[in-house]
Structure 1
């Protein structure tokens, strides 16, 4: 394998590692956002239906 090809492969590998790191960070961000949405949903009081067809919305 020539020096030029080895450098191209190294660059490709480094790019893939960076992409993977970015992807993992995006996953952590999404997990945090989902956790926050779940926490908020659990804390929000739910209105009970008061009559047939009433879904508790105003």
Structure 2
């Protein structure tokens, strides 16, 4: 596979773009949203990994 099959520009947001809104479950399967995490006013670190190797 090369970059012409899955161009990065089509799948990745530009650097500096706002993170997309999302909901993820915690270890108890309770949903949490990015919005509620930001409202808590605590530092937040998001780490995005590409899905295909």
> TM-score range with shorter-chain normalisation?
under 0.3
Q: Which one has the bigger strand percentage? A: 2
Report which structure shows greater RCO (CA 8 Å, sep ≥6): 2
TM-score using structure 2 length: 0.22
TM-score (norm 1): 0.21
Pair member with larger Rg: 1
